[in-house]
Each structure stands twice: as C-alpha cells, then as structure tokens.
Amino acid sequence: MLSRISVTTSLAGRTRDPRLPAGDVRTGGFGGVDGLAVALTDVDLLVDATHPFAARMTEHAAAAAARTGTPLVVLRRPGWTEGPDDDWRRVPTTGAAAAACAAGGFARVFLAIGRQGVGEFLDVDAWFLVRAIEAPEAVPARSIVVLARGPFALDDERALLRRHRVDVVVAKDSGGATEAKLAAARELGVPVVLIDRPAMPEGVRVVEDVAGVLAVVREQGPPPSG
C-alpha cells in the first residue's frame, strides 16, 4: 500500500485552464536549476511527468536531482511506431519540419504541433490548418486556427483532413492517445512529417506508465516519520 504519501504537482502555468490533478498543486517555474534544487529540500522522490518535448524542464530536473541527491524518475509514454502503410518523414526539429514542408512543395498543411513552434512556419509558402489548445502568438499569413483539446476520434480526424484537403500532416512524436490523426493520414494516403523527441539526459531512470512510477515509489519505502 502507498500510505502516508504526500504528493505535490507542479504545473508550468502555460495553459490557462488546465485539468487539475488531486493533491496539492503549485503553478509557475522554480527559477531554473538553483530554484528547483531549493524546492527539493524536503522531497523524497522527484517525478518528471512533463511533455516529451519539454526538454529544458527535464534537463533542469536531472541537474537539480543530481545536485541534491534526490531520486528522480522520468515518466515518458512510448513514442509512435511507423507501420507498413504509413508515409512518415522523420525530422529532428520543428525548424527541420518547416524546411521539409517547403522542400516537399506541400500546398495544404495540417500543423498539429500545439502553439509553440508555429512561428517556424511563417515563411513557408503554403496554406495552414493550425490546431492548438490555445492560440499561437503568430501564425502564417494563409491559415486558419482551430482551438481544441484532444484526444480526437478517428472519424473526426479523417473528416478534418478531407474537409480541408490536407496534403501533409506535421506532428510531434509525443506518443499517447493522440495518434488518431496519424491513422487518418494513413487511411487517406497523406504523408506525415514527424518531429523526433529531444534526447534524454544521460543516466536518468525512465518508465513508460504510471504503474512504473508507483513501483519506484514503493522502492523508496515509506517516508521518515516525524
């Protein structure tokens, strides 16, 4: 049993109306590695459950945990695996994805990368369907913005691609339950430019699901009484 465990969830504060978990919740940054190290003074285990593309947060977590000797586990859901009927073009960065769209001569682009990184596509000569939870600061001149929170159903994704005559999908390899757009692209023969995940800091322990995190919590044992 996981008794007498106190959990505090820290949110970055970038989403205006986030879904709040149970337990104590704080919002906002820590002030870099130094601030996070101070916050870890009374922490027995640090769980990094950030987005797979939140590379800086993960780097800070690894550095602060190493400095303070705090056990760290990173929760990373598995990425997606290309199937025989998929047409994926993997790229290392958002900028490389923009270059791939320009080089490929795509006319109608479904940009499903969230609001961050949309600015990389401002100079690409194409029409864009931009979908995000919140509006990006800047969008290409020829575009429409759809504000929505996933996951999305396959039927809806298929209809979206058809309605807007999308000829390429740009997405991040975030994994999880947002793969319906990839399945719709596969069915319709639409290529996908898929942005690879940032590299993980060396030496960190990674688990793929919440059950793995709970196993690490059990390994740590009960917190000291007092």
Summarize pLDDT for 62-110 with one digit per residue, the tens. Answer: 999 999 999 999 999 999 999 999 999 999 999 999 999 999 999 999 9
Token couple for 58: 């993960």
Question: How many other C-beta atoms are found inside a 10 Å radius of the C-beta of residue 63?
Answer: 16
Co-location of 71 and 169 in the same domain:
no
Token couple for 141: 């001149």
Co-location of 99 and 181 in the same domain:
yes
Please tell me the chain's helix, strand, coil percentages from 3-state DSSP, rounded to the nearest 5: 30, 20, 50
Co-location of 72 and 53 in the same domain:
yes
Residue 183: which domain range? 88-195
How high is the pLDDT of residue 119? 95
Co-location of 37 and 112 in the same domain:
no
Rounded to an integer, the average pLDDT of 51-63 is: 91
Co-location of 170 and 110 in the same domain:
yes
User: In the predicted model, is pLDDT for residue 165 greater than 50?
Assistant: yes
User: In the predicted model, is pLDDT for residue 1 greater than 50?
Assistant: no
83 occurs within a structural domain: no
213 occurs within a structural domain: yes
Co-location of 21 and 63 in the same domain:
yes
Q: How many domains does the chain have?
A: 2
71 occurs within a structural domain: yes
Rounded to an integer, the average pLDDT of 30-46 is: 91
DSSP state of 39: H
Rounded to an integer, the average pLDDT of 185-204 is: 95
The more confidently predicted of residues 6 and 126 is 126
Co-location of 169 and 204 in the same domain:
no
170 occurs within a structural domain: yes
Note if the pTM is more than 0.85: no
Q: Are strands 88-91 and 108-112 parallel, antiparallel or unpaired?
A: unpaired
User: In the predicted model, is pLDDT for residue 153 greater than 50?
Assistant: yes
Q: What is the domain-level CATH number for residue 181?
A: 3.40.50.2300
Co-location of 52 and 94 in the same domain:
no
Co-location of 204 and 183 in the same domain:
no
Rounded to an integer, the average pLDDT of 40-49 is: 91
